[in-house]
Amino acid sequence: MILTKKQRRVEWVFAIIMILLSLLFLFPVVWMIANSFKPDAAITADMNSVRAFIPPAPSGNFFDNYLSIITNTSFLRYMGNTLLYAAALIVLSVIVNGLAGYALAKIDFPFRERWLLIIMMLMIVPTETIITIHFLFIAKMGLLNTVVGYILPMIVNPFNIFLFRQVFISLPDDVWEAAQLDHCSAIKYFFTMVLPMSKTVVATVSVFTFLSVWNDYLWPSLVFTSSDLLTAQIGLNSITANVNTTMGMTLALITMVTIPVIIIYSLFSKQIVEGVVSTGSKEG
């Protein structure tokens, strides 16, 4: 596309505004990462200067805060726990919400549209309002302080169901018909055809699920009492509450919790945008 002079000028101004905004948002992140390598004295000394945004020169004690976390706390274990929960939830979330989305998109059953409406209405209910019910339910089942108790209420997600439904509705019906003639069962079709044909939405739901598990604080703090099962966010809170934890260690902890999120966002930003955009697409 050839731009006119005026259009090019507008593009430049727009780009500059975007860069300035990005810097504004990156500001605390850069500060956090730079100071996570410093001892507390240096953090305090650099507080009011530009040096607060510059990491110290690499030396023997460059990674002290990180090493201290690894050796003196169980934070790596908490991170491992969280990764494990996230992995399990991603698999279950794709299967359960995907199957529900497929049924709503492709299977003709009574009151299908009403069900969809109910699911869409559930999307506007904040998790905090139903968390007490979840807690009582899990407690009654005797699943408190268990991985199953933590995962179970998080599997079904109305937003993910809606996301899957919006993508599956555009899948051509004749592929299913061809698969039937190829002796493919409905379940096999879902796993070997529908999911591979909908990689974008699978990636989107996986990323959203990972982020929701990684960032969740309230639900794991209610379910888990045993320190062996804690997630990264709860672990972060309990470690920073300890009087022996330094400011540098706290910043290193927060960096460790933040980095995976940044990596995931940078790797899957395209899928996240495509997945969300697809929810607004016209029905096929």
Partner 1 sequence: MSFIELKNIYKKYPGADKNSVSDVSLNIEEKEFIAFVGPSGCGKSTTLRMIAGFEDITAGELYIDGQKMNEVAPKDRGIAMVFQNYALYPHMTVEKNISYGLKNMKVPADEIKKKVDWAIKVLGLEEYRRRKPKNLSGGQRQRVALGRAIVKDTKLFLMDEPLSNLDAKLRVSMRNEISKLHRQIGSTTIYVTHDQIEAMTMADRIVIMKDGIVQQVGKPMDLYKHPANKFVAGFIGSPQMNFYNVTVSGNVVTFEDGSKITLPESITSKLGRQGEFILGIRGEDIKLDAQNIDIFKADKQSAVVENVEVMGNENNLYFTFGGASSVARVSKYEVSEIGDEIEFVLNPMRMHFFDKDTELCCI
Provide the binding-site residues for partner 1, judged by CB under 8 A.
172, 174-175, 177-184, 188, 193, 196-197
CB 108, min distance to partner 1, A: 10
Nearer residue to partner 1 within complex by CB, 28 or 196: 196
Nearer residue to partner 1 within complex by CB, 192 or 225: 192
- Contact, 104 vs 165, CB < 8 A? yes
CB 271, min distance to partner 1, A: 16
CB 94, min distance to partner 1, A: 16
Nearer residue to partner 1 within complex by CB, 193 or 264: 193
Nearer residue to partner 1 within complex by CB, 174 or 283: 174
Nearer residue to partner 1 within complex by CB, 64 or 274: 274
Rounded Cα gap, residues 172 and 108, in angstroms: 15
| CB-count exposure of residue 1 (10 Å: 0-12, 13-18, 19+) | exposed
Rounded Cα gap, residues 12 and 274, in angstroms: 26
Rounded Cα gap, residues 267 and 262, in angstroms: 9
Rounded Cα gap, residues 40 and 274, in angstroms: 43
The half-sphere exposure of 243 on its side-chain side, counting CA atoms within 13 A, is 0
Q: What are the tokens at 92?
A: 């279950």
CB 113, min distance to partner 1, A: 15
Nearer residue to partner 1 within complex by CB, 147 or 171: 171
CB 185, min distance to partner 1, A: 9
Cβ–Cβ contacts within 10 Å for residue 187, how many? 9
What are the helix (H) ranges across 73-198? 75-106, 112-122, 127-140, 147-155, 158-168, 173-181, 186-189, 195-197
CB 183, min distance to partner 1, A: 4
